[in-house]
Amino acid sequence: MPVPRRSLLAALAAAPLAAQAQPQAQGAWPDRPLRLVLPYTPGGGTDAVARALGTRLNAALGQPVVVENRPGAGGNLATELVAGSRPDGHTLLMGNQGPIAVNPTLFGRNLKVNPQAALDPVAMVAETPLVLVAGPATPAATLPALIAEAREKRGGMNYASPGNGSAGHLAMALLLQQAGVEATHVPFRGAAPGLTDVAAGTVAAMISTLPSVAGLVEGGVLRALAVTDDRRLPSMPGVPTVAETIPGYRATAWYGILVPRGTPEPVRARLEAAILESLGSPELVSSLAREGAMPYPMPGDAFGRFIAAERARWAPVIQAAGITAD
């Protein structure tokens, strides 16, 4: 289970002291710009989170943070790149649940690099609740109504996702399994084309990030049926959580920083402290909020346990749904 967010806020209070204690042990690190690699194209939510964090780390560490987009192979290309880099603290990975927690199950023996063996977690950065939306292909105005329709159609209802194994795909697979109903998955290459087909009435529903659906919901093009966090969103107070219909349900997209295995502990510790301290910045909090994300401060050891729990959590969902790599 995810570590409760409020139990981690104490890390923020300790971070400035930790940051002050580390420089004596570090010498010149960092002595050149940091390279922050992420597995997706520019312009998406992960990219925005990475750039917002990079700005704060620049201020905290005194070196520029260069964001490098390396999409491909479901995020595996970026993981392989960072895992093969020199473990000196100058190359970082912005990881999320796809490449880090899902791909080991999704790709199996075809995975060239096992993230658990090749990377060390530094800190969790943020998480993003998702939103279940419906279009004209279904009359359902609530999640219970959508579930009832899916039960009646016995797999005849379809739903979109940004791709096999994506956060939206897994969140919907989990919802269907916990509700005890079936629906047909229609994968797209990205959120935008999937939402376009939901709006056109070709596909009934989709789970996606808040920024990607907010304008469509506000414009009346799509209906927001539920949010996947266990709390209602301040920006959508009238939209219930999935857990209000299916108790115990929770699924979010998350982001965290990892480094190549073997990075010196003093370097990793200073980077961890800088990240946790940065998450207390009002500017960073505002930047994350614009992307529908919120700070989720978690030090490296807790982040490692969180990743292990996420792998264990999603593996049976993937197997039960028969999800395979694109």
Q: What is the pLDDT of residue 207?
A: 95
Which of 198, 59, 182 has its CA nearest to residue 136?
198
CATH class of this structure's domain 5-127+253-321: alpha beta
- Cβ atoms within 10 A of the Cβ of 23, count? 13
- Cβ atoms within 10 A of the Cβ of 290, count? 10
Amino acid at 103: N
Q: What is the pLDDT of residue 25?
A: 41
CATH topology for 129-244 is D-Maltodextrin-Binding Protein; domain 2 (3.40.190)
Residue entry with tokens 């603290």 = 89
Written as tens digits, the pLDDT of the chain (326 aa) is 455 554 454 444 444 444 444 443 445 899 999 999 998 877 677 788 888 899 999 999 999 999 999 888 888 999 999 999 999 999 999 998 889 999 999 888 888 999 999 999 999 999 989 999 999 999 999 999 999 999 999 999 999 998 888 889 999 999 999 999 999 999 888 888 899 999 999 999 999 988 888 889 999 999 999 999 989 988 899 999 999 999 999 999 899 999 999 999 999 999 999 999 999 999 889 888 888 888 999 999 999 999 999 999 999 999 998 888 76
* Strand partners for 121: 258
Please check whether residue 183 is in contact with residue 151, taking contact to mean a CB–CB distance below 8 angstroms: no
Tokens representing residue 143 in the block? 């999640």
Residues 292, 295, 301, CA angle at the centre, nearest 5°? 135
Q: What is the pLDDT of residue 279?
A: 93
Residues of the chain within CATH 3.40.190.150 domain(s) are 5-127+253-321
Q: What is the pLDDT of residue 18?
A: 45
Q: What is the pLDDT of residue 72?
A: 83
The structure's pTM equals 0.83
Residues of the chain within CATH 3.40.190.10 domain(s) are 129-244
Q: What is the pLDDT of residue 191?
A: 85
> In angstroms, rounded to a whole number, what is the distance separating the alpha carbons of residues 155 and 206?
15
> In angstroms, rounded to a whole number, what is the distance separating the alpha carbons of residues 274 and 281?
11
